[in-house]
Structure 1
């Protein structure tokens, strides 16, 4: 599997290890492709759940009396972003040049 990041919490690292294992060459390519497709199909809903759980946790910290600055210091997330998360503001995707099939390397 890949190298572990010593700054990641053990539970987060386990999730990342499982994702890495799905791409392990120990399994046939067809199996890997199927498993990774299933993960990607579920990813949007899982991502939304994670965001909602984070927002809930931050609201709980605020309701327990922490200021937004204290939540920022505790979580390592900027004050402005903490405020946005609690308010339910999601970041817009980064604006960049979209590639078309003709622009992709190897496309004909």
Structure 2
């Protein structure tokens, strides 16, 4: 799930899309939240990379969804990844130590 951001966000997004495109990772749902932010970029991808230069396929631009609706995003993720399930639990609860429990040089904390 990507929200509007800067270079770091775009780097992570395109790295993920590249790994999916080149089949270097298991395909997973990619959701771009914030249509007003993402639609101009998607239009450019379609016009420049798909149509004009033909450096990516039309299917590559269909590998993610745009939405402004959180419920729609969740439904898309669960439809594409049923094993994700509606609830994720941490396998082991961890509690941060109090300042008095932290000992310099200790490997406990």
- Say yes or no: TM over 0.5: no
Q: From the two aligned structures, give the one with the greater strand fraction.
A: 2
Q: From the two aligned structures, give the one with the greater helix fraction.
A: 1
TM-score (norm. length: structure 1): 0.29
Report which structure shows greater RCO (CA 8 Å, sep ≥6).
Answer: 2
